[in-house]
Structure 1
């Protein structure tokens, strides 16, 4: 016979089974429920399973807030490991100070920039896709076609949403980064 206990919440279950989720991220509700019943005579609902899994994921990977607090470190590491790369992070102006709020991130790796200058066809494809999850936004990319008809990303940026302002911000940085003084000879393709 199984029973419910209000003291056994998501944190308790996540702490007990975090090793299971670390070893097998696809560990499902049926297995958790069965293990809970045999080990503790407790029962968990499907909703509690999702809460438990989210708490365990945060224990394994760190919370979203912790990850965003490391963006400055990630940007600095990219700059250090890839000299001449351009990494720009923009935070909301009203929150600058103790807790800046992430708004946009622009990345152009030096190696890809050099590839663009060495052997490119004058074609740039601008594309975007939605990002779902904790940080809802869009990923904007500039993709280049080389002389072997291979495509690779020259620039990518994370933005809050796609609008004229964000595209203008990215295209301005892209033009400066790739030294596109006169872009009339480049074929631009958009979705």
Structure 2
């Protein structure tokens, strides 16, 4: 969303006039929070897989990650879960 659009929506929806600088700072904060949420949710995928594994018989869980280098943090690529009941139809 462009800064001018944020400014216009603040004026029309909540009747507050804000500066472009204020919109820039808030947009930056929102982006940082969104990135943080992705990191937390990525960590929860591992917990979810470990929690389901021993409790569910004949469960297939595959999680594919990608690393740009050996030392880099993993990037999520895909997550696959198949329960035995789905296999049987």
Q: Scaled by the length of structure 2, what TM-score is found?
A: 0.52
Say if 1:92 and 1:102, in contact at 8 Å, map to a contact too: yes
Selected match of 2:27 from 39, 51, 55: 51
Alignment match, 1:112: 86
2:45 to 71, 75, 87: 71
* Equivalent position of 1:102 in the other structure: 76
| CA deviation vs aligned residue, 1:53-92 (integer Å, no higher than 9, x gap) | x729x48xx5212212322112223324533210011222
Q: Which has the higher helix share?
A: 2
Task: Report the TM-score, using the length of structure 1 for normalisation.
Answer: 0.29
CA RMSD of aligned residues (A): 3.7
4+ aligned runs moved over 4 Å, structure 1:
93-98
**Which one has the largest radius of gyration?**
1
Deviations along 1:80-122, one digit per CA (max 9) or x if unpaired, are: 45332100112226556673222232211122123x2xxxxxx
> Which runs of 5 or more residues in structure 1 are unaligned?
1-27, 117-191
- Aligned pair count reads 75
Cα distance in 2 between the residues matched to 1:69 and 1:95: 20
Structure of greater relative contact order (alpha carbons < 8 Å, 6+ residues apart): 2
What stretches of structure 2 of length at least 5 have no aligned partner?
Answer: 1-8
**Inter-CA distance 71–100: structure 2 relative to 1 (3 Å threshold):** same
Q: 1:84 to 1:98 in 2, by over 3 A?
A: farther
The structure in which a higher percent of residues are strand is 1
Structure 2 residue aligned with 1:83: 57
Q: d(CA) in 2 for partners of 1:109 and 1:83?
A: 8
